[in-house]
A and B are shown apart, each in its own frame.
Chain A
Amino acid sequence: MKIIYMDHNATTPLDAEVLEAMMPYLTDKFGNPSSSTHAYGWEARRAVDEARSQVAGLIGAHPEEIIFTSGATEADNLAIKGVAHAYRDRGNHIITSQIEHKAVLETCKFLEKEGFKVTYIPVDRYGMVDPEEVRRAITDKTILISIMFVNSEVGTIEPVEKIGEIAREKGVLFHSDAVQGAGKIETKVDKLKADLLSISGHKMYGPKGIGALYMKKGVKIEPLLHGGGHERGLRAGTENVPGIIGLGKACQKAGKVMKAEAIRLTKLRNRLYQGVMKRIKRVYLNGHSEKRLPGNLNLSFEFVEGESLILSLKDFAISSGSACTSSSLKSSYVLLAMKVQEALSHCSLRICLGRSNTEDEVDYLVEELSKNVARLREMSPLYKEV
């Protein structure tokens, strides 16, 4: 039996139509878009331009506001370091949250070493950033606010529109890492009031190794890579043409199927949640019950360590926030920032449903969870003490 994939926040499989769109650019259409003297170059340039329009289309941007990168980590680095270095004469203060992706947190930490000041806004127990807290953190030295759209672990959808509004009102640039939102729920840069926005190909059924940074017209950034002037001089290096075509196609397809898929996944996730809650006692939801990414469910099964539970669910590909599944041996910093009890943080399971998942698979997971949680609780010295 094939292992049932339920880790779609980590990555998604490549969509067949996306692969089909990419194939010619991995074979016959190998031209360099910078080759202006022959047809190989022209067709590659046209294809890249079309993909740029497709990406822009998904997020409601103009094509010339899209910079292709090697992924969202690079997009986050480019946005944050790029703004910090381009606006350092205006100030040295950056605001972000405690639950950002490491690509944002580590970039901010790096900038602290360069002398920038960073405020890491805490979150409430649902993993939500309070926009008013962001407002209070703004000083006359603040040059950038970076708050994610959707948290990848607990699926909480952040009040990004409000934060964007505050940023605009205060004249501060606003970046959002929208990796987990784009292609899954409506992600429009004007609605989110984002000046910069990062997206990734492989989180939306596109290829790995490609992402994009949206940068609103008029915003300045200092590039990370210097070279042949590609991407309007903001990201040097010959374009990853097959990746770009794949990202474009993935964005186009996501735009078409997103609405219906979000409704289907919300139903499917609720079926899973209700099934678990009916069959298993002492289970706690991590994250927000409503402001939540459709396919995401993050649960703590009290008295059962997360890694041991995952080991017993051998027909499923899922992940845990338990320290035991990390190489750092620390529990998920997101759960800890949400003040989830440390004991419960070790008991967490992250299930992320996607396009391939069915009701039957969800029902089978409920069955397996109920069986194995009971078995492991029987083995747990903490269980009887209750």
Chain B
Amino acid sequence: MYNLEEYSAKVMEHYQNPRNVGEIENPSGEGTVGNPACGDVMKLTIKVENGRIVDAKFKTFGCGAAIATSSMVTEMVKGKTIEEALHISNKTVAEALDGLPKIKMHCSVLAEDALKAAIEDYRKKTDGKENKAQKD
């Protein structure tokens, strides 16, 4: 069984005061994942400058864990290079929130998937050019 009491203080704090809610206008990349019929949808927009994510915003339809992981992932990606951001996994997001109830781990996958989708969208838009710029 699972109950709401299992949420860590950090999850609750992020749920109550989510960071970076909204949408970036003309984002460098955006990713929307999930399905309303499954109970969660997350839209992540990122702004990339010189190969670095300088801003990230989210909108999420989902449970407390989905909202908290969305908020946390936007915090985590800010200031990271694309390469660094790709190392963020659902596990590292969950760890940053002091863990999630086992049954809620799939919610953190939503955050990882949205991040990957946003990065992929960014790469498509820049046609790989930004990546090279970053390596130079």
Q: Chain A residues in contact with chain B, CB under 8 A?
A: 303-305, 307-308, 310-312, 322-325, 327, 329, 331, 341-343, 346, 378-384
> How many whole Å from B68's CB to the nearest CB in chain A?
10
> How many whole Å from B109's CB to the nearest CB in chain A?
13
Partner of B64, one of A311, A329, A381, A383: A311
Chain B residues with CB under 8 A of A378: 21
CB nearest to B15 among chain A residues = A311
CB–CB B103/A329 < 8 A: yes
Q: Is the interface of B mostly helix, strand, loop or mixed?
A: mixed
> How many whole Å from B24's CB to the nearest CB in chain A?
13
Chain A residues with CB under 8 A of B2: 327
Q: Which 5 pairs show the lowest CB-CB distances between chains A and B?
A: A324-B63, A346-B39, A343-B36, A381-B59, A381-B43
Chain A residues with CB under 8 A of B28: none
CB–CB B103/A382 < 8 A: no
Partner of A308, one of B21, B38, B43, B62: B62
For the complex, give the distance between the alpha carbons of A323 and B39 in Å: 7
Chain A residues with CB under 8 A of B43: 381
For the complex, give the distance between the alpha carbons of A381 and B103 in Å: 24
Partner of B59, one of A310, A325, A379: A379
A305 in contact with B61 given A342-B37, A382-B36 (CB within 8 Å): yes
Q: Chain B residues in contact with chain A, CB under 8 A?
A: 1-2, 4, 7, 12, 15-16, 18, 21, 32, 36-43, 59-67, 103, 106
Chain B residues with CB under 8 A of A381: 32, 41-43, 59-61
Chain A residues with CB under 8 A of B21: 378-379
CB–CB B1/A327 < 8 A: yes
Chain B residues with CB under 8 A of A323: 38-39
CB–CB A379/B39 < 8 A: no
For the complex, give the distance between the alpha carbons of A69 and B41 in Å: 45
Partner of B61, one of A310, A311, A327, A380: A380
Chain B residues with CB under 8 A of A312: 16
Known: A323-B39, A341-B37, A346-B36. 6 other contacts (CB 8 A): A324-B63, A327-B1, A329-B103, A342-B37, A379-B61, A380-B61
A308 in contact with B64 given A327-B2, A381-B32 (CB within 8 Å): yes
Interface-central residue, A304, A308, A331, A341, by most chain B CB under 10 Å: A308
A–B pairs, 23, beta carbons within 8 Å: A303-B61, A304-B61, A305-B63, A308-B15, A308-B63, A308-B64, A311-B63, A312-B16, A322-B63, A324-B40, A325-B4, A327-B2, A329-B103, A329-B106, A343-B36, A379-B59, A379-B60, A379-B61, A379-B67, A380-B41, A381-B41, A381-B42, A382-B61
For the complex, give the distance between the alpha carbons of A310 and B4 in Å: 10
CB nearest to B4 among chain A residues = A311
CB nearest to A382 among chain B residues = B61
A305 in contact with B103 given A310-B4, A378-B21, A379-B60 (CB within 8 Å): no
CB nearest to B39 among chain A residues = A346
